[in-house]
């Protein structure tokens, strides 16, 4: 410290620019209240110190899900770009009144691959039609200049794009432009990374209270399943095959998840995920013959309203505008594919489909509960997933629940 003759910390005074030299002169000359300068120092210095601490405390350091330390001033996060539009699912939990109010740009995947949800948010917040479609951050049409022109403060990316962001030089370019970047993960390791992702975003966006409130709810919903299935013996657990994006390409089959994402949720729900036992990694293509040979107890496909982006898709079009009739019709068509009617899961009506977008959102606890009820209907007879899904919307989201999000073959 640089202390002058009167006991003031001159470095502190200079740093905060609060006390001017003329003010110091007045302090020396005044006899108001008969205060000595040392007394004044004892009163003002702690105040100045507190102010300087507040100034430095505006900058926080967070560790994102990629393990990167990022220094951010939450008060300066005014313009956000989303590496994926489907990060809307998460932002809505943190700011129910205006989830996309700070978003100035995004990739158009929400519009293309979950148009039902996009239209729900568009109806509630018409201004989101003005959000710039920036394309893929790693595509040839992506413009860093546009990001800068939007006065972007924060770029949010999914962990699955870390390698691309590094190899493409995107992180270096954004850093040079002074744009902060954080990585989140609700897709690769949902049960591991959802809570830290929400905690980090809560700090960065100044929404810690909202993040903590939802986390408490999320943990309780996850435990409602784990507390029951944890004692299930391996021999009693059903073999489950997840068909990723079933019918998306009508003439192609199949793809599945490994011990990650929905595959992980199968295991957490008390099943045995087929893909976890076959290959390492996130997902893999599968020869249908391998499925026919193992004849799993349950088959669960994923679907969403991909018809607008891919009109010839045979997927089950789940979402806020889906109907039970069309969902059942499309699920029946998947079950009737060549060779599939001979499978045990089809014959015993343990053939299902579920909303694909649960795989990339904090709402995946709903998928976990649906799986658990399918695998163990007696154990979870009192678990009302429909009521929980409605409660999720009523408590945390700015849109109401409607449509169809899972289906059982009848």
**pTM summary value:** 0.85
Q: How far apart are CA 369 and CA 332, in angstroms?
A: 23
Give the separation between CA 99 and CA 91, rounded to whole angstroms: 5
**Bridge partner list, 300:** 242, 352
CA distances from 96 to 130, 357, 410 (A): 19, 20, 37
Q: Check residue 141 and give its pLDDT.
A: 65
Structure-token match 């022109």, residue found: 149
Stated length of the chain: 410
In this structure, is residue 220 part of a structural domain? no
185 and 252 housed in the same domain: no
pLDDT value, residue 239: 98
Q: Which residue has the tokens 């470095």?
A: 11
If asked whether residues 322 and 180 sit together in one domain, one would say no
Is 95:210 a contact under the CB 8 Å cutoff?
yes
Residue 134 lies in a domain: yes
**Distance between first and last Cα of the chain:** 78
At residue 366, the pLDDT reads 98
Residue 217 belongs to a domain: no
Number of H helices, E strands in the chain: 17, 14
Is residue 81 domain-shared with residue 146, that is, in the same domain?
yes
Residue numbers of the domain that contains 137: 64-206
- Regarding whether 389 and 357 lie in a shared domain, the answer is yes
Tell me if 223 is assigned to some domain.
Answer: no
Is the domain of 195 the same as that of 238? no
What the block records as the tokens of 162 is 């870390």
Contacts of 285 (CB under 8 A, 6+ apart): 254, 255
Residue 266's pLDDT is 98
Angle between helices 208-229 and 261-268 (to 10 degrees): 50
In a domain, 403, yes or no: yes
Q: Are residues 89 and 40 in the same domain?
A: no
Residues of the chain with pLDDT under 50: 1-41, 43-44, 48, 51-53, 55-56
Give start and end residues of each alpha helix (H) in 142-246. Answer: 144-149, 162-167, 170-176, 190-204, 208-229
Kindly state whether residues 299 and 239 are assigned to the same domain.
yes
Q: How many structural domains is the chain composed of?
A: 3
Tell which phi-psi region holds residue 319, choosing left (phi > 0), alpha (psi between -120 and 50) or beta: left
Residues 240 and 383 in one domain: yes
Residue 311 and residue 305: Cα distance in Å, rounded? Answer: 10
Question: Are residue 237 and residue 328 in the same domain, yes or no?
Answer: yes
Is 211 part of a structural domain of the chain?
Answer: no
285 falls within a domain: yes
Please report the pLDDT score of residue 56 as a whole number.
Answer: 45
User: Alpha helices of 205-323 — where are they, by DSSP H?
Assistant: 208-229, 261-268, 288-294
Give the pLDDT of residue 140: 66
**15 and 70 housed in the same domain:** no
Q: Outline where DSSP puts E strands in 11-151.
A: 60-63, 69-72, 80-82, 103-106, 132-133
Beta-bridge mates of residue 71: 61
Distance from chain centroid for Cα 110: 13
Question: Which tokens go with 174?
Answer: 């954004």
Measured from the Cβ of residue 217, the count of other Cβ atoms closer than 10 Å reads 18
Residue 225 within any structural domain of the chain: no
**Do 49 and 74 reside in the same domain of the chain?**
no
Closest to 259 (Cα-Cα) out of 205, 203, 206, 192: 192
Contacts of 99 (CB under 8 A, 6+ apart): 88, 91, 92, 121, 125, 398
Sequence-ordered list of residues with C-beta below 8 angstroms from that of 258, at least 6 positions apart, any chain:
273, 275, 276, 278, 279, 280, 281, 282, 283, 284
Question: Do 329 and 396 reside in the same domain of the chain?
Answer: yes
Structure token pair of residue 308: 């607008």
Give Cβ neighbours of residue 67 (< 8 Å, ≥ 6 apart).
Answer: none
β-pairing, 239-243 vs 255-257, is unpaired
Q: Residue 363: CB partners within 8 Å, gap ≥ 6?
A: 89, 392
Would strands 406-408 and 272-273 be described as parallel, antiparallel, or unpaired? unpaired
**b/e per residue 191-200 (b: at least 16 CB within 10 A):** bebbbbbbeb
Q: What is the pLDDT of residues 269-279, one digit of tens each?
A: 999 999 999 99
CA–CA distance, 239 with 273 (Å, rounded to integer): 6
Final residue in a domain of this structure, among 189, 206, 223: 206
Helix (H) or strand (E) holding 239: strand 239-243
Which CATH number is 268's domain given?
3.40.50.1980
């Amino acid at each position: 410290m640089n202390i002058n003759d009167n006991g003031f910390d001159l470095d502190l005074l200079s740093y905060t620019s609060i006390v001017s030299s003329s003010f110091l002169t007045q302090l020396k000359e005044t006899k108001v209240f008969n205060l000595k300068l040392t007394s004044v120092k004892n009163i003002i210095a702690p105040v100045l110190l507190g102010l300087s601490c507040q100034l430095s405390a505006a900058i926080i350091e967070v560790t994102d899900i990629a393990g990167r330390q990022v220094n951010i001033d939450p008060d300066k996060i005014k313009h956000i770009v989303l590496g994926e539009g489907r990060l809307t699912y998460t932002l809505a939990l943190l700011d129910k009144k205006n989830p996309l109010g700070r978003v100035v740009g995004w990739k158009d995947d929400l519009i293309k691959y979950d148009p039902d949800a996009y239209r729900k948010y568009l109806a509630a917040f018409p201004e989101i039609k003005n959000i710039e479609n920036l394309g893929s951050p790693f595509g040839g049409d992506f413009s860093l200049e546009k990001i800068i022109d939007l006065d972007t403060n924060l770029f949010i990316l999914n962990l699955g794009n870390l390698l691309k962001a590094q190899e493409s030089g995107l992180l270096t370019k954004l850093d040079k432009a002074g744009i902060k970047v954080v990585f989140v993960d609700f897709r690769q390791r949902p049960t591991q990374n959802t809570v830290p992702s929400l905690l980090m975003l809560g700090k960065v966006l100044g929404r810690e209270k909202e993040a903590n409130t939802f986390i408490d709810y999320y943990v309780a919903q996850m435990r409602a399943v784990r507390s029951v299935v944890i004692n299930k013996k391996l021999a009693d657990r059903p073999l489950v095959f997840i068909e990723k994006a079933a019918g998306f390409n009508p003439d192609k089959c199949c793809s599945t998840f490994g011990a990650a994402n929905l595959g992980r949720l199968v295991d957490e729900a008390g099943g045995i995920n087929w893909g976890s036992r076959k290959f390492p990694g996130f997902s893999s293509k599968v020869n249908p013959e391998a499925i026919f040979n193992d004849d799993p107890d349950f088959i669960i496909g994923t679907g969403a309203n991909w018809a607008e982006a891919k009109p010839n898709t045979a997927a089950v079009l789940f979402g806020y505008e889906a109907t039970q009739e069309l969902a059942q019709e499309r699920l029946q068509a998947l079950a009737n594919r060549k060779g599939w009617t001979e499978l045990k899961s089809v014959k015993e009506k343990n053939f299902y489909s579920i909303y694909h977008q649960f795989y990339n959102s904090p709402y995946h606890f709903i998928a976990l509960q649906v799986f658990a009820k399918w695998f163990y209907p007696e154990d979870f007879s009192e678990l009302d997933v429909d009521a929980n899904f409605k409660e999720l919307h009523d408590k945390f989201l700015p849109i109401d629940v409607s449509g169809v999000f899972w289906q059982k073959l009848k």
